[in-house]
Amino acid sequence: MSLHLYDTSTRAIREFVPVEAGRASMYLCGATVQAPPHIGHIRSGVNFDVLRRWLTRSGYDVTLCRNVTDIDDKIIRVSAEEGVPWFVVAERNQRAFTWAYETLGCLPPTVEPRATGHVPEMIELMERLIERGHAYAAGGDVYFDVRSYADRYGSLSNQRLENMRPAFDCDDDSHKRDPRDFALWKGEKPGEPTWPTPFGPGRPGWHLECSAMATKYLGPAFDIHGGGLDLIFPHHENEIAQSQAAGDGFARYWMHNGMLKIGAEKMSKSLGNSLLIPDMVQKVRPVELRYYLAVPHYRSSIEYSEEALREAAAAYQRIEGFVIRAAEVIHDVDADAPLPQAFVDALNDDLGTPQAVAVIHEVVREGNVALSKGDKEAVARLLAETQTMLDVLGLDPRSPQWRSGGSDLKPVVDALVAVALEQRKSARERKDYAAADAIRDQLAALGILVEDTPHGPRWELSR
């Protein structure tokens, strides 16, 4: 089965056929950097990182463009509230997003353009739209004329123009021909940053930015446009309208990840329930948080709870435990082992991560049985399969991203623990089990967990 993806624009699962054979181009709506990220923001990054990894594993040369919206009404509002320049707000929060993406194992994008660096491309796009009769300048602003595109506007969100509400994207709508017209460019206002244009000084509208950046780096037609479900309308609807009205084919597949909720409400700072990434990685390790976000199907919603987070961490630790124990037995792992067909089929079916992870757990169960039997040949095969599958999902515990810093001290700790384990062995031989248990408890208090196995005691650092 070849790769099939759910396309929001057709509301159907379609076979993935790229614009250019062997290459996959992706645009992901990244951060609007008015605040630091919570896990709802970073879920999108994790979901599309898994897609990017799977495309690469499937043989595609992937170009990922993930933008940064560094000028916006919200950023200007925070700037005014804090009494600092807008660019201070944007830079501070962009760094927080970058740290969060990296902390959760997201590969860096091929290019990460900022909106403020692409005003010339925005001007050119507005000029094309005005020339084609789809946009107009009025009162220092530039608007997209939705009635000029009425037969197609609303197709992504499955709405009819007559049922749509006003755009509500300007303080003064009096210059609009239709209240549903959306702003491409916002004229100069006191205290706001401005850029010069043929239509007067001002700043870009939110939707214009993404169309200009996507086509600059991926071309007038590209493969996949991704983002959160909440971006379908108005943001992505408006991107399609302004891009196609200007003559660009734009995105061939539209993919949207589901929301992360608390108590059935979408997470947002305004609800007071945002869970920031630095706080979350104090609750669980970053790799466990990535597992929690990556395992549910990307189109599903996640109802956040502490219990579900702990369960996800425990599930990952079961996988990790097998990999660590098996790697102590098998030192030369096949780094390019063939993937189980069930795993391949799961990811080719609209990125079915729940089914793919179920395959991993089944292989791990087989591996633990092989370990208990001392079947090194089976252990080697199952360990290679497990690590190859985990690598596709960005979850291999032996990768440099997740390997504990303590592993650099393993020879030293090995020597110290060996002394304690020898003392424990002597205590057990003389049936002084209280002393043996005390030694094990002392090691545990130091963060060193001892496990008795058929092949003798083994240790690992506590997680």
Q: Is the pTM of this model over 0.85?
A: yes
**pLDDT above 80 (res 411):** no
Question: Do β-strands 4-7 and 202-204 pair in parallel, antiparallel, or remain unpaired?
Answer: unpaired
Among 111, 106, 116, which residue's Cα sits nearest to residue 65? 111
Residue 405's pLDDT is what?
Answer: 44
Tally of CB atoms within 10 A around 93 = 21
Q: Which residue bears the tokens 């108005």? A: 234
Three-class SS of 329-395: HCCCCCCCCCCCHHHHHHHHECCCHHHHHHHHHHHHHHHHHHHHHCCHHHHHHHHHHHHHHHHHHCC
- Give the mean pLDDT of 424-445: 77
Q: How far apart are CA 202 and CA 383, in angstroms?
A: 58
Give all domains of the chain, ordered by start, each with its CATH number: 4-257 (3.40.50.620), 300-393 (1.20.120.640), 405-461 (no CATH)
- Give the mean pLDDT of 435-448: 76
3-state secondary structure of 190: coil
Q: How far apart are CA 443 and CA 339, in angstroms?
A: 38
Is there a contact between 185 and 126 (Cβ–Cβ < 8 Å)? yes
- Best-predicted range by mean pLDDT (265-274, 322-331, 451-460): 322-331
Q: Which stretch of 34-43, 166-175, 398-407 has the lowest confidence by average pLDDT?
A: 398-407
Residue 349's pLDDT is what?
Answer: 98
Residue 425's pLDDT is what?
Answer: 75
3-state secondary structure of 450: strand
- Give the mean pLDDT of 6-13: 98
pLDDT tens, residue by residue, 272-325: 556 899 999 999 999 999 999 999 999 999 999 999 999 999 999 999 999 999
pLDDT tens, residue by residue, 415-428: 766 666 777 778 77
Using alpha carbons only, give the angle 428, 430, 431 rounded to the nearest 5 degrees. Answer: 60
Residue 430 has phi, psi (to 5 degrees) of -95, 15
Q: How far apart are CA 434 and CA 448, in angstroms?
A: 19
| pLDDT band with cut points at 50, 70 and 90 for residue 267 | low
Give the chain's largest Cα–Cα span: 93
**pLDDT above 70 (res 462):** no
Whole-Å CA distances, 35 to 66, 94, 267, 282, 349 = 18, 9, 14, 20, 35
Q: How far apart are CA 66 and CA 15, in angstroms?
A: 24
Cβ contacts of 206 within 8 Å, gap of 6 or more? 32, 69, 72, 73, 169, 235
- Give the mean pLDDT of 430-448: 77
pLDDT tens, residue by residue, 18-48: 999 999 999 999 999 999 999 999 999 999 9
**pLDDT above 70 (res 270):** no
Is there a contact between 304 and 261 (Cβ–Cβ < 8 Å)? yes
On average, the pLDDT of the chain sits at 92
245-248 own/partner pairs: CB under 8 Å, 24+ apart: 245/129, 245/132, 245/134, 245/144, 245/148, 245/149, 246/125, 246/128, 246/129, 246/132, 246/134, 246/211, 247/128, 247/132, 247/220, 248/211, 248/215, 248/220, 248/221
Stronger pLDDT, 90 or 417, i.e. the higher one:
90
- Give the mean pLDDT of 248-264: 92
Cβ contacts of 273 within 8 Å, gap of 6 or more? 262, 263, 265, 267
**pLDDT above 50 (res 406):** no
3-state secondary structure of 59: coil
Whole-Å CA distances, 134 to 12, 179, 211, 212, 246 = 29, 15, 15, 16, 8
Q: Which stretch of 200-209, 334-343, 345-354, 391-400 has the lowest confidence by average pLDDT?
A: 334-343
**pLDDT above 90 (res 432):** no
Q: In what order do the strands lie in the sheet with 182-187?
A: 135-138, 141-144, 182-187, 202-204
Is there a contact between 387 and 396 (Cβ–Cβ < 8 Å)? yes
Q: How many residues are listed for the chain in this entry?
A: 463
Residue 409's pLDDT is what?
Answer: 56
Q: How far apart are CA 50 and CA 46, in angstroms?
A: 6
Tally of CB atoms within 10 A around 394 = 22
